[in-house]
Structure 1
Amino acid sequence: MPEPHVPTGARPARRARGAALALSAALVLPLALAAGSGSAAAAPGGHHDGRTAPHRHPHLNTHKYVALGDSYAAGIGIPDNVGMPAGCGRSNHNYASLTAKGIGFARFTDVTCGGAKTVDMTQPQTVTGGVNPAQLNAVTADTSVVTLQIGGNDIGFGEIIGTCASVSASDPFGDPCHKLYTAGGTDQLAGRIDATAAKVASVVRGIRWRAPHARILVLGYPAILPDSGVGCFPTVPVAMGDAPYLRDTQKRLNAMIAAQAGRNGARYVDVYGPSVGHDACQPTGRWVEGVNPSTPFHPNAVGHEGMAAAVAAALPPR
């Protein structure tokens, strides 16, 4: 992607303020509330035609698959919102559902929930419309495959995006968010990621304890910003100097998740690599939305198809 021209003036700031305010408003509610109803329109970025994961594994068609995770796993804003409580924003076209259909699992349980943190794997989570039971309750000794995508909310994903969008208008060509989170010489976001490592490890061990013979697949997070350059301010209201910092922060989060998966007997599924070139800055074909009222900075239907393909590829025949 070519480096964008940086104008000498600050005219984009006014447009960015409006986008930042809209994004901040969308992120005021917990991510668990972002789902909307099952009648929501299809997420922009590409037409979802109902395709399932491209690989079939007949040897797994009598097995049990359990999906765990946060809003990235739940598929908030993607029709149709299914299951209870409705506030979890669980889509029947999220990557877990596509994988289950494509592979042909006999039993599939999806307990993913928007806003989930690692603590919600072992404790009930209150959302709009009710309470989502502790997600690990769904994992039993006869579980064959588990997918897990967690950690983003533990480091404050929604707060980070909202804060960085808000301050970008004041210094669109600088790095106000980077300065804010590294004030005093300590990178607060790096510290949050390091502090989350033990929590992710504990969840993976909890899965293994409950399902000793299961294949555990731990996903990272797809690319939100382009893999190089200074982003696409003001389309995505992140200051140009902050784009490299936020990109590196996401890569650090994914690296931590990969490390904890490997150290605790699980397989890491890279969804960042396949999503490069499909970030929120792309006009078409993107996996992740930008300032979108129903799915702000979350994967759309195309992104879930891509993640489903990555999961299916990580399930070779035994």
Structure 2
Amino acid sequence: MANKGSGGLILLVVVASLIGFGYLKSQQGSSAEPPAPPGSETGGGTGRYVALGDSYTSSPKTGAQAGGPPGCARSDNNYPHLIAAELRPAGFADVSCSGATTANMTSAQQTKNGTNPPQLDAVNASTTLVTIGIGGNDVGFISLARECATLNPNTSPCRDRMTAGGHDQLAERIQATASKVAAVLDRIHTKAPKAKVIVVGYPTALPDGNGCWPFVPLGAGDVAYLRESEEKLNDMLAEQAKAHKAGFADTATPSKGHDMCTKSDTKWVEDLVPTSPAEALHPNAKGQRAMADAVLPLIR
């Protein structure tokens, strides 16, 4: 175990020396007064909008803290808040939380700083719109992407490990998550029978081709494997949305060409060392704006 830890430390040092630490201090968010807590009146419109999801929804570090607990790292500049600013519903509750899984839709989530109640507690009979971005943590994409980092661009440690023995573990996890997403969608319809429900897909994180080692220190084989696996995840989410009376917001198509390998002024998803305020391997403010733009046409 010590050797493994040392290897990880060496890898981080090498990667840091190759790409530099351009981590902006502004990532910590502004010191502005946080917005009103979730569920407050937001405008002169009608209806009640509830946003559910994981960190691709809560969007850590892209804005000021919005509501609690702090451990959810929920930004006031995430796509739910951008959508709410345009719709101006009478009621709005963003209960998304970093690290959330489908299980946290119906059970409380313990974060490093506070407990987030079951997200579906925010959905009730008066709810008219629900967006949900979930499933990535059930599959384990973010943690796996960090584990795949390599000093040799010609290797593919994650693909080799995850497909050993002829079984694609990521594909199996995606398949196993489908029924969980289905159950959540059914539960939303039960709690809010009049609500329009929209499943929000995951934006394109990796480019076609071999990637951009060392800036994103993944071997060519792992770039392809993770990219194709994300496509399978989005396909599954779209299928479950269609089968369970929900819309599907495709964020992958518009985000192609804005992946973590593109230039800092072009990318919508940050790499291991963000160059704009955002969590590593997550959408930045431009990415959140694009996700909102993918959802809005399904509402209007």
> Is the pair's TM-score, using the shorter chain for normalization, greater than 0.5?
yes
Deviation (angstroms), 1:245: 1.0
Question: Equivalent residue for 1:39?
Answer: 30
**Gapped runs of 5+ residues in structure 2?**
1-9, 19-26, 32-42
Question: Equivalent residue for 2:205?
Answer: 224
1:234-273 paired onto structure 2 within 5 Å: 234-273=214-253
Q: CA separation in 1, counterparts of 2:84 and 2:66?
A: 15
1:147 partner SS: strand
Residue of structure 2 aligned with 1:185, choices 148, 166, 174: 166
Deviation (angstroms), 1:17: 6.4
1:120 pairs with 2:104? yes
Deviation (angstroms), 1:200: 0.6
Question: Equivalent residue for 1:205?
Answer: 186
Answer whether contact 1:38 1:82 (CA < 8 A) is retained: no
Q: CA separation in 2, counterparts of 1:256 and 1:122?
A: 21
Change (3 A) 1:21 1:114: farther
Residue of structure 2 aligned with 1:62, choices 46, 65, 73: 46
Higher relative contact order (CA 8 A, sep 6+): 1
1:42-191 paired onto structure 2 within 5 Å: 61-165=45-149, 168-169=150-151, 171-191=152-172
Answer whether contact 2:63 2:75 (CA < 8 A) is retained: yes
Change (3 A) 1:231 1:102: same
Q: CA separation in 1, counterparts of 2:226 and 2:142?
A: 13
Q: CA separation in 2, counterparts of 1:93 and 1:64?
A: 19
In percent, how many aligned pairs have the same letter? 45
Question: Equivalent residue for 2:15?
Answer: 19
Provide, for residues 124-182 of structure 1, a one-character-per-residue CA deviation record: whole Å limited to 9, x for no partner: 101133110000000000101000000000011232112111xx22x312322211111
Change (3 A) 1:86 1:21: farther
Deviation (angstroms), 1:246: 0.9
Answer whether contact 1:19 1:291 (CA < 8 A) is retained: no
1:304 partner SS: helix
Matched AA of 2:220: M
Question: Equivalent residue for 2:3?
Answer: none
Deviation (angstroms), 1:19: 2.6
Deviation (angstroms), 1:291: 1.0
Change (3 A) 1:232 1:37: closer
Provide, for residues 225-256 of structure 1, a one-character-per-residue CA deviation record: whole Å limited to 9, x for no partner: 01x21111111111112211111000000001
Question: Equivalent residue for 1:50?
Answer: none
**Gapped runs of 5+ residues in structure 1?**
1-13, 23-35, 41-57
TM-score normalised to the size of structure 1? 0.80
User: How big is the alpha-carbon RMSD for the aligned residues of Structure 1 and Structure 2?
Assistant: 2.3
Answer whether contact 1:65 1:100 (CA < 8 A) is retained: yes
Change (3 A) 1:72 1:21: farther
Deviation (angstroms), 1:213: 1.0
Question: Equivalent residue for 2:258?
Answer: 278
The runs of at least 4 consecutive aligned structure 1 residues that moved more than 6 Å come to 14-17
1:212 partner SS: coil
Count of matched residue pairs: 270
Answer whether contact 1:111 1:138 (CA < 8 A) is retained: yes
Provide, for residues 173-205 of structure 1, a one-character-per-residue CA deviation record: whole Å limited to 9, x for no partner: 232221111111111111111111100111111
